[in-house]
Structure 1
Amino acid sequence: MPLGTLDRSPPPFFKQGPSALSKLMFFSALSLFLMVADTRFRITQPVRAALATALYPVQWLALQPVRAVQGGGEYFTTLNQAKVASEEAGRKLALQSLRAGQVEQLSQENTRLRKLLGLREQLATPVMAAEVLYDAADPYTRKVIIDKGMAQGVDLGSPVLDESGVLGQVTRVHPLVSEVTLLIDRDLAIPVLNVRTGARSVAYGDSATSGSGLELRFMGSNSDVQQGDLLTTSGVDGVYPPGLPVAKISRIERRAESAFAKIFCTPQALVTGARHVIVVKPGTGQIPPRPEADAPEAAPKKKGASK
């Protein structure tokens, strides 16, 4: 067969339809038409709504693993943040509680210091401010240690007061500290005066080991004493200045078989919690010395005595 007689067109099986250029022009025109129509008439809005509604379950299922991972991470992050916030809140609460306690303590201390300064102004004798360091390590006595001693001029026997009244007496002096025996110690006694009646007596520390009061001894059962009577220092001993509050009578026991009444008193001073005190110069230095007794005259010689 001659070559010129061959059919050069592709067989029907390999025919591709319209050309690529035709397809490009058609779909470009269609795209422009749809964009203009959607912009002007919003004809694709229902289609979009329908497709979004149909695809929502698929999107929801596809997002669940991602949300689970994100939720787990947020849970642990939130738990850690909550733990840190709880610890910070607890720390701040403890700090605020500590500050509140310090404010309350400082307020009470300020009130006591003001009262102490007022009491200091009332005293005509020299005084010295001191601070209680600690209780003496002796379970059978009631003593405290203050931060003033010989170097500061503390004398043995000096009365010690707090803002409410007489606290005790200096019974031992060291170079830098001093030992103060409290009123409630069983070995301490103080002359007192009943403000209501003017009767003088002596108050002794409670004889019990754990006692925290005073006792008026050797007072007759018919003595004029009443519950609530205020006892102050009488000043007759020359140690304590007169008029300082000592105690109030809290209980009276009158017994028919005894000639003396048992009278118990409550100290006015804060004997179990004093912090700041003042040390008063003892009044013994202000008392004039006892006059010396006259020397006895020489006995006359008897008559007839040998010369």
Structure 2
Amino acid sequence: MPLGTLDRSPPPFFRQGPSALSKLVLFGVLAVLLMVADNRFGMIKPVRAAIATVLYPLQWTMLQPVIWSRDGSKYFESLNSSQTSEAAAQYRLGLQSQRAQQVEQLNQENAQLRGLLGLRERVNAPALAAQILYDAADPFTRKVIIDKGALAAVQPGSPVLDELGVLGQVTRVYPLVSEVTLITDRNQAVPVLNARTGLRALAFGDAASRSGALELRFLDANVDLQAGDLLTTSGVDGVYPPGLQVARISSVEHGADSAFARVRCEPVAAVNSGLHVLVLQPLAGLVPTLPPTAPDKATNGSKP
């Protein structure tokens, strides 16, 4: 038998196929062509849509346990939250009912006392609704811009409120917009009255607080103030009507090396997140002026 007939291995071209490098180049070129065709002509979109349609039932089935678990946890959380909110609402409703029963009697007693003392009624300032547009560009002040100006009869010095309490005061008026300085600005001062003790004080913006707070200055170290006391406007400045909520005392510090107490307060109004506000007419424009008194004859030198 010839030796050449013992080698029965076929030629490598027919049995082994192309080399690994040839396969890499071929599939690389094919991938690039497919990406270009899909990007330019959208040829792969029908294939992708068909695959997504086929896989959607399987994906939906596998996601159901996750959805059920999430919905169940949300249900129990919302149930607990609803029960807590209902209990709080019932408590507030009871307080409001109790106060409503006393309002009529208190109004009658107030009218009688004011009649006996000869005091005038509290001034009800007219209000103008406005909306906060944006914060002022100055990072060292706390000011906002509202969408009402001189054309809407806004006056400089007008108090600005939200649904919770005093927000600030109009400091600049333009034809269409106005600038409002918030009560937390370091240059803003509001005369306040402690609703518990009747103590009058001045609330200034706390420059050291970044979140927006107030502080009461120039108070004796032994002053009767407690955390949680409500501070309202006193009305002695001729700007803010009396009785508007301003802040609540958060802390009272009595320093041994200082003759004054350090009192920090949190504003009642949403000074950092408000949107809709009310602009009141300044109290000084609503208080009637006293009629001129008759000249004293003895002062003028006239004889009796």
If the TM-score is normalised by the length of the shorter chain, which range does it land in?
0.5 to 0.7
Q: Which residue of 1 aligns with 2:235?
A: 235
Q: Which contiguous aligned blocks of 4+ residues in structure 1 show a shift greater than 3 angstroms?
A: 74-78, 82-86, 288-295
Say whether 1:254 aligns with 2:260: no
Residues 79 and 263 of structure 1: is their aligned pair in 2 closer, same or farther, counting only changes over 3 Å?
A: same
Secondary structure of the residue that 1:198 maps to in structure 2? coil
Secondary structure of the residue that 1:79 maps to in structure 2? helix
Residues 82 and 137 of structure 1: is their aligned pair in 2 closer, same or farther, counting only changes over 3 Å?
A: farther
Structure 1, gaps ≥5 residues long: 1-73, 87-121, 300-307
Residues 237 and 290 of structure 1: is their aligned pair in 2 closer, same or farther, counting only changes over 3 Å?
A: farther
Does the CA-based 8 Å contact 1:140-1:209 persist in structure 2? no
Q: Which residue of 2 aligns with 1:304?
A: none
Query: How far apart, CA to CA, are the structure 1 residues paired with 2:236 and 2:279?
Result: 19
Q: Deviation string for 1:127-174 (max 9, x for gaps)? A: 000000000000010000000000000000000000100000000000
Say whether 1:196 aligns with 2:168: no
Q: Which residue of 1 aligns with 2:185?
A: 185
Secondary structure of the residue that 1:232 maps to in structure 2? strand
Q: Which residue of 2 aligns with 1:6?
A: none
Q: TM-score, normalised by structure 1?
A: 0.57
Q: Deviation string for 1:78-130 (max 9, x for gaps)? A: 424368999xxxxxxxxxxxxxxxxxxxxxxxxxxxxxxxxxxx982110000
Secondary structure of the residue that 1:81 maps to in structure 2? helix
Q: Which residue of 1 aligns with 2:157?
A: 157
Structure 2, gaps ≥5 residues long: 1-45, 60-121
Residues 289 and 76 of structure 1: is their aligned pair in 2 closer, same or farther, counting only changes over 3 Å?
A: closer
Does the CA-based 8 Å contact 1:253-1:261 persist in structure 2? yes
Residues 234 and 298 of structure 1: is their aligned pair in 2 closer, same or farther, counting only changes over 3 Å?
A: closer
Rg bigger for which structure?
A: 1
Q: What displacement does 1:286 show?
A: 2.2
Q: Which residue of 1 aligns with 2:281?
A: 281
Q: What displacement does 1:252 show?
A: 1.0
Query: How far apart, CA to CA, are the structure 1 residues paired with 2:250 and 2:167?
Result: 18
Q: Which residue of 1 aligns with 2:78?
A: none
Q: Deviation string for 1:235-256 (max 9, x for gaps)? A: 1111101111000000111111
Q: What displacement does 1:75 show?
A: 8.2
Matches within 5 A, 1:45-56: none
**Counterpart residue identity of residue 168, structure 2:** G
Q: RMSD between aligned alpha carbons?
A: 3.0
Query: How far apart, CA to CA, are the structure 2 residues paired with 1:270 and 1:165?
Result: 8
Q: Which residue of 2 aligns with 1:225?
A: 225
Q: Deviation string for 1:42-99 (max 9, x for gaps)? A: xxxxxxxxxxxxxxxxxxxxxxxxxxxxxxxx9865424368999xxxxxxxxxxxxx
Q: What displacement does 1:292 show?
A: 7.6
Q: Which residue of 1 aligns with 2:210?
A: 210
Residues 159 and 84 of structure 1: is their aligned pair in 2 closer, same or farther, counting only changes over 3 Å?
A: farther
Residues 173 and 228 of structure 1: is their aligned pair in 2 closer, same or farther, counting only changes over 3 Å?
A: same
Q: Which residue of 1 aligns with 2:245?
A: 245
Does the CA-based 8 Å contact 1:141-1:209 persist in structure 2? no
Say whether 1:146 aligns with 2:142: no
**Counterpart residue identity of residue 258, structure 1:** S
